[in-house]
Amino acid sequence: MKTTIAEVSKHVGEEVTIGAWLQNKRSSGKIAFLQLRDGTGFMQGVAVKAELGDEKFQEAKALTQESSLYVTGVIVEDTRSSFGYEMQVSGFEIIQEAKDYPITPKEHGTEFLMDHRHLWLRSRKQHAVMKIRNEIIRATYEFFNVNGYVKIDPPILTGSSAEGSTELFHTKYFDEDAYLSQSGQLYMEAAAMAFGKVFSFGPTFRAEKSKTRRHLIEFWMIEPEMAFMNHEDSLEVQEQYVSHVVQAVLDHCRLDLEALERDTSVLEKIKAPFPRISYDDAVSFLKEKGFDDIEWGEDFGAPHETAIAESYDKPVFITNYPAEIKAFYMKPDPDRPEVVLCADLIAPEGYGEIIGGSQRIDDLELMRQRYEEHGLTGDAYQWYLQLREYGSVPHSGFGLGLERTVAWLSGVEHVRETIPFPRLLNRLYP
């Protein structure tokens, strides 16, 4: 009977056939240990000369890395491996013999691995990171569906920018100019006025010449938007959502976290509520810590964020930034209009900002004024202003960067390993 590695626990004591690739092998005169992978998991196959016969055993010993096979054998429990099962190989059929697979068990440099990303994805750690990514996506849909949100898909081709025009990829749209979306937010605000609580999940593009471990040119963002919710309500949604995702990864990705040697004790602590610190207090804190390079009114860089995050063992919200350094649509604090009702959520362990969010301006006149101050003239945003004209309500939303969240939960250093085919400043291949 045909099965997969993920399903072998249901077949203990039975003879099954699995389509697999040979990841690695070790052998002696009488026994060969075949490290098999089939996409759904990783398992050892044990080939014994006395069982297979001389000829077949020699064939097993000669198997090359990444050759594809149908392997047949009896599934047995194996308490020594954390997977818990192995196969006693009774036979195999080679589908294709792979010659000179470029990624050998020895160490390779990052550029080499990135050039072979289409193959590197097969390796144990890369597989684990993608499984964690998949679990975060699954838990995201679960969280928002259970809580009454409607998934809405904003467009990717847009006629204007959402945040600022410097980071946009330009293209032609027949005779018009068009841009790749850098955020679906403005459209999600329209959707919130139609459906109440909505979320999007899609690719976003930033033509930013940043070359850091936290920046991708193309990345995926989850953008919830909620009518009748103020900034504080939104922070509660954010901490509940992030806690849910962390718990889901802990519950469903045990072997993947283990393959990545992730310290899960730090993830166990990630439970709502999360601490909050105001931008004002963050500036004072940084000055006390000896950062002389920061003045009130300036944005934080990665070292600042890391220094703040180090004081907590949970993600921390930095709230109420100066209006000057934030997007035009953020609602000013009524008691202190020089700051806005916003927060960035900073992950622990130096993974940086994973969420940016705010309450949005709901007053038509103020929004018009902000527009003009930002030099946003013309008709491109008429529809956005109309949302403030016909039954405007308080509303808030946020955007969570998927890859930074994957990096944090997986414990991988650089976001380039958190997306199947990364687009970086100097990389569009493969």
Binding site for ligand 4AD (CB under 6 A): 162-163, 183, 185, 206, 208, 215-216, 219, 221, 223, 353-357, 397-399, 401, 403-404, 415
Closer residue to ligand 4AD, CB minimum distance, 66 or 223: 223
Please answer whether residues 360 and 395 qualify as being in contact, where contact means their C-beta atoms are separated by less than 8 angstroms: yes
Rounded to the nearest whole angstrom, what is the least distance from the CB of residue 133 to ligand 4AD in the complex? 13
Q: Is the Cβ of residue 18 or residue 346 nearer to ligand 4AD in the bound state?
A: 346
- Closest contact distance (angstroms) between CB of 355 and Mg ion is 8
Token pair belonging to 241:
């959502």
Phi-psi map region of 13: left, alpha, beta (phi>0 left; psi -120 to 50 alpha):
left
Q: In this complex, which beta carbon is closest to Mg ion, that of residue 41 or of residue 356?
A: 356
357 binds, among Mg ion, ligand 4AD, none (CB under 5 to 8 A by kind): ligand 4AD
Q: Choose the contact partner of 73 out of ligand 4AD, Mg ion, none; CB within 5 to 8 A by kind.
A: none
Q: How far is the CB of 254 from ligand 4AD (least distance, A)?
A: 26
Token representation of residue 190: 């329209």
Choose among Mg ion, ligand 4AD, none what residue 404 binds, the Cβ cut-off being 5 to 8 Å by kind: ligand 4AD
Q: Which does 399 bind (CB under 5 to 8 A by kind): ligand 4AD, Mg ion, none?
A: ligand 4AD
Least CB distance from residue 401 to Mg ion, whole Å? Answer: 9
Residues 125 and 102: their CA atoms lie apart, in Å, by 17
Q: Which does 45 bind (CB under 5 to 8 A by kind): Mg ion, ligand 4AD, none?
A: none
239/256 with CB nearer Mg ion: 239
8 Å CB contact between 328 and 340: no
* Cβ closest to ligand 4AD, residue 8 vs residue 343: 343
Q: Where along the sequence are the contacts to Mg ion (CB under 5 A)?
A: 356
For Mg ion, the nearest residue by Cβ is 356
Is the CB of 95 or the CB of 302 nearer to ligand 4AD?
302
Closer by beta carbon to ligand 4AD, 25 or else 304: 304
Nearest distance, CB of residue 54 and ligand 4AD, angstroms: 55
